[in-house]
Structure 1
Amino acid sequence: MPQRHPDDYENVPRPVVGIGNDYPSSFELAEHSHRRGQFLYAARGVVAVSTPFGAWVAPAERAVWIPAGTPHSVRMVGAVQTRSVLVASSASAALAERCRVVAVSPLLRQLLVEAAEVPAEYDERGRDGLVMDLLVAEICRAPVIPILVPFPRLPALAKRCHRFLENPRVGETIDDWSGDLAMNRRRFTRLFRRETGMSFSEWRQQACLSVALPRLAAGESVTAIALDLGYDAPGNFATMFKRVLGVPPSRYRQPSSESS
């Protein structure tokens, strides 16, 4: 499939436009934004989306909703095949105003694949128009998946969060962070929740998941990932993973990967 750049479709006189692209392993799209909202789905591989406000990871059967005007960069994990939908504000009133990861049902998946083949200036009253209408309806009802790593606006705290994502360790504590930032424990916990909307332990857990998911998709063993994150045993990591995402970490590994 030829590469399709979203900016080429900003002025298409249709409320919804489907596009599809293939990317090589580890390809990165530098920070950019679109006038339309983007529903980004990886039919193959994993996409990791970063914004000034947080990070979102979409492995198999997941997609990221990126509202219009949101600056974002995208990193491909493995060879990635995307099927995206660009949605004008006139058709996205029912969609969220913030980025989120949602589940992609079999029906929604097929609609995304089909939309990528629909001509940009399709007949809105014909079959293609019905496909696009149903696609938006399915996006609106897609369940939200709790994978979210919000970044604080306070520069010193944001820097500390980014440092953690570079080398996440589940054993890091409030006392470790408050000491680094020269704050007392009480002030730190209040500030962290105000800046991120999460407790420190919730954020730390989400950050560890956001790092683990691309590694799982790349075929790394559950044991290696768990130990790198600082878990005493793979079983403890697997228990946390299943509690949050509803499935064991092995569910996210490539079929060709060796068993852990």
Structure 2
Amino acid sequence: MDIFKIIDDLQKIDGDAVGRLEHASRRYFMNRVGSTLAAAAAPMAFATIVNKAYGQTAAAVDVLKFALTLEYLEDAFYKEGLKASGLIPDKYKASIAQIGKHESQHVAYLVKAVGAMNLQFDWTYGGKLSDTFSNFKTFITVATALEDTGVRAYKGQAGALMKDPGILKVALQVHSVEARHAAQVRRIFAVENSSPGTKGWITGNASPIALVQAVYNGEENLTQGGVNLKGLAGKSDNAVSEAFDEILTKEQVLAIAGPFIKA
């Protein structure tokens, strides 16, 4: 799926959409991808959409509630980690705090769109984890799984937002922020778990976390846009798979994240 082609196609369908998004134009966003403002651009744009109540269909509301569930989970996770005494090494505190700040912003904006939810979390993952907030290796492992899931989850919902181009545009920008989170925590994971094979991006369906292989299943796909890219220009299968994120469906995501959420 070519994300920016989707955005361009949406502008052809609704030429006024970008103008109504004020600061969320493609040019505005892309001009800041490499700047220190990049991480803040998507949340600010999302606030603009929410405050204007831009064309939400029932499908869009469902997607936003789903996104809010995941953002609540990530927000609560980082808050617990940041308040746990001695958990996060000093060299990572600023980075983890910034990621946590973004998640809090995402929650705040989504709540404005669809209302608050009352969720409780089980950090033992159904009894499978015992030291999530006392062992940094466990903490960063969980962070990696959550962020990798979030990236695929946002992409998986893009199709459901085609009738809400304003929300789709900003959801894909939030997807970009989540991808940067994932890259950062994966790099920290690689250092702290002595896993040099773990890069800032996913290779094939290789899971650095055996407990949640489902997060990575399907990432080995080599067919994009109906074209099999195996052996493209002499590139390895791993290199091709690394170039694309694959989707996770809502059902797949909830099956992965479900043990963290108390009934």
Taking structure 2 as the reference length, the TM-score comes to 0.25
Higher relative contact order structure (alpha carbons within 8 Å, sequence separation ≥ 6): 2
Could you say which structure has the higher strand fraction? 1
Please identify which structure carries the higher helix content. Answer: 2
